[in-house]
Amino acid sequence: MRLDALIFDVDGTLADTEEAHRTAFNLAFEQLGTGWKWSRTDYLRLLSTTGGKERIARHIASLDLTDGERAELIARIPQMHAAKTRFYSAVVRDGAVPLRPGIARLLDEAATTGCRLAIASTTTAVNIDALLHATLGTRALELFGVIACGDQVAAKKPAPDIYLLALQHLGVRADHAIAFEDSANGLRAATAAGLWTVVTPTFWTEDHNFDDAGLVLPQLGDPQTPLAGEPGGRLRECAWLSFAELSSLREEALS
């Protein structure tokens, strides 16, 4: 079956960004004097809520507050999230967060074959622009023809909306595309949109359930960062997921 597009999640998939997000949240909380500080344990739990604004709202809901205190904090969520986004995008724009192994290689291989590339992410366009500019430079706008993200949809992952929006903007059928994700919420969103999905977990999502994934690998690998035990585990041709093998694995899975 034809393969017309690859659709990539951003946070955790293109790059391992969540520690940078967590740090940015804490810097914003300190700047705004909320007295909050999310530990890694806190953030592991809060990450099951997609969207930074929604994550802050969930934290507020967990606090013992009067109705007036709660309402005042809820009213400040946009301000908190804007401050967090300033901290995060500044750190990423400075190059603090690299692409994960194999991402740049697979993007090039796919683009060379004429396969289109898109993004479907819960984070903001500002954050995506900062990451792509820092890691791919001006090539990013040539590579990714469609960027669907953040508040462009009302229902965030695990709802399929952001993937359906990316497919709509691509003008591509779900069964002619592949999604790349790192989390259970992302896998559910892509699967609900009808996409065969490759999952590359990070520390933040390694305990998630990926039973519905088409393929699960620790990362995409490349000649400089070969995958241990490959070929031979899931891969047959080389110790990284090449575009050619990605296409054939999906073909077999869907035939």
Q: By C-alpha distance, which of 75, 16, 73, 78 is closest to 47? A: 16
For residue 131, give the amino acid letter. Answer: L
Query: Tokens 């999230």 appear where?
Result: 81
Q: Binds 124, which of ligand XBP, Mg ion, none (CB < 5 to 8 A, cut-off by type)?
A: ligand XBP
Q: Binds 191, which of Mg ion, ligand XBP, none (CB < 5 to 8 A, cut-off by type)?
A: none
Verify binding: residue 9, Mg ion, rule CB under 5 A: yes
CB of 157 to ligand XBP, least distance (A): 6
Binding test (CB under 5 A) with Mg ion, winner from 3, 7, 8, 12: 12
Give the C-alpha separation, 55 to 62, whole Å.
11
CB of 55 to ligand XBP, least distance (A): 6
Label residues 221-230 b or e (16+ Cβ within 10 Å = b): bbeeeebeeb
In the region spanning residues 106 to 145, those forming contacts with ligand XBP, defined by CB under 6 A, are: 121-124, 127
Whether residue 9 lies in the annotated active site: yes
Give the C-alpha separation, 217 to 71, whole Å.
43
Give the C-alpha separation, 64 to 46, whole Å.
17
Which of 9, 161, 182, 222 is labelled catalytic? 9
Sequence length of the chain is 255
* Contacting residues toward ligand XBP, per CB under 6 A: 9-12, 18, 21, 50-52, 121-124, 127, 157, 186
List the catalytic residues: 9, 11
* Contacting residues toward Mg ion, per CB under 5 A: 9, 11-12, 182-183, 186
